[in-house]
Amino acid sequence: MIKKIIILLKIGRALAKSSTLDYFEEVYKPNILIRGFIKIFGFSSFRKKSLDSKSVGLRLANALKDLGPTFIKLGQFLGTRPDIVGKNLAIELQSLQDDLPPFDTSIAEKTIKEEIGNEKFEQIKNLTQPVAAASIAQVHFAKIENQEFAIKILRPGIEKKFNEELDSLMLFASIVEAILPKTRRLKLVEVVHLLKEITTIEMDLRFEASAASELKKNTLTDPKFLVPEINWDFTSRRVLTSQKVEGISIKDIDKIDKQNIDKKELAKNIIQSFLRQAVNDGFFHGDMHQGNLFVDNNGNIIPVDFGIMGRLDNDNRRYL
């Protein structure tokens, strides 16, 4: 309980420091008792004028980034839910990048050994320094039997950290809904509960590997869509090994133009690929933002990060 209170204080302090509380004053108009509570709890009070010229969305994004991985995930999730936070706030939260300082490669090597054993670890050659580091895991490149692979490794202790912070967020959401009844329409407790379900799945990389394999099987005959192959012999709960992607990040428009890739055709193929997955298969990549899509020199779309997938039953597919 003490840890929860400390985390709650951190949340209150971050929101107060970023002047985000101004927004909630305007929307929910809390009474004087609640204002006093927030002044003590967040070491600040609601202020009439923001100390920052940035919009509330960007200030909230910065506050969530300062709070750490769990809160970054929360912000990214809310960025996909304009029905909860409103269109403008959702758009600004989408700017919240899931990039954090990497952990040491020696820790990554230790994790791989513990997960797949020394014998298989010895087959991994030329393990690089981290090429990408996010809130839950980071990625290294390596060679196995002269083939190039990407190895995704969970951050040390991330499961415990997420569980503690999500429990505190649940308490925070319950308190907010109790003292500000108007916020119940935001379904804060439901949002945190859903986030916990999502991150629990993301903490076991075998689920992601399984999703990638299923998507690859479903899209083998789809034009212009290539899902990386999973190497199951080097995949476990905390380590995922997949075929290295050779391509350009779809957000790098300058490089795409230099390769003379037709952007209109690329855009059409992205939409059609998604619709084939959702309507034909009922199983689709649920996180197809620009950071998770690459394009090769032939214009093929290559998705990565299969931690969030979606399913539609037959009735919904017929409706669509």
Length of the chain equals 320
Spatial contact of 241 and 151, defined as CB atoms under 8 Å apart: yes
Average pLDDT over residues 247-274: 94
Average pLDDT over residues 55-68: 82
Residue 86: band (very low, low, confident or very high) from pLDDT cuts 50, 70, 90: confident
DSSP 100-156: -PPPPHHHHHHHHHHHH-HHHHTTEE-PPSPSEE-SSEEEEEEEETTEEEEEEEEPT
User: Tell me, what's the pLDDT at 46?
Assistant: 46
User: Tell me, what's the pLDDT at 220?
Assistant: 95
Neighbours of 162 (CB within 10 A): 23
User: Tell me, what's the pLDDT at 58?
Assistant: 82
Residue 48: band (very low, low, confident or very high) from pLDDT cuts 50, 70, 90: very low
What is the overall mean pLDDT for the chain? 86
Reading the block at residue 196, the tokens are: 């916990």
Residue 40 and residue 34: Cα distance in Å, rounded? 10
User: Tell me, what's the pLDDT at 250?
Assistant: 93
Please name the amino acid found at residue 55: S
DSSP annotation of 277 reads: I
Residue 283 and residue 250: Cα distance in Å, rounded? 22
Residue 50 has pLDDT above 50, yes or no: no
Residue 45: band (very low, low, confident or very high) from pLDDT cuts 50, 70, 90: very low
Average pLDDT over residues 135-151: 95
Longest dimension (CA), the chain: 68
| pLDDT tens, residue by residue, 182-240 | 778 778 888 888 888 888 888 999 999 999 999 999 999 999 999 999 999 999 999 99
User: Tell me, what's the pLDDT at 207?
Assistant: 96
| pLDDT tens, residue by residue, 263-305 | 999 999 999 999 999 999 999 998 888 889 999 999 999 999 9
Residue 35 has pLDDT above 80, yes or no: no
Question: In this predicted structure, which of 34-38, 176-180, 192-196 has the lowest mean pLDDT?
Answer: 34-38
Average pLDDT over residues 91-99: 76
Residue 179: band (very low, low, confident or very high) from pLDDT cuts 50, 70, 90: confident
Residue 30 has pLDDT above 70, yes or no: no
Residue 192 and residue 174: Cα distance in Å, rounded? 10
Highest mean pLDDT among 24-38, 49-63, 155-169, 206-220: 206-220
Residue 234 and residue 256: Cα distance in Å, rounded? 32
Q: What are phi and psi of 143, to 5 degrees?
A: -110, 135
Percent of the chain with pLDDT over 90: 50
Residue 34: band (very low, low, confident or very high) from pLDDT cuts 50, 70, 90: low
Tell me the catalytic residues. 287
User: Tell me, what's the pLDDT at 79?
Assistant: 81
DSSP 224-269: TB-PPPB-GGG--SSEEEEEPP-SEETT-HHHHHHTT--HHHHHHH
Question: In this predicted structure, which of 8-17, 157-166, 219-228 has the lowest mean pLDDT?
Answer: 8-17
Reading the block at residue 161, the tokens are: 């950290």
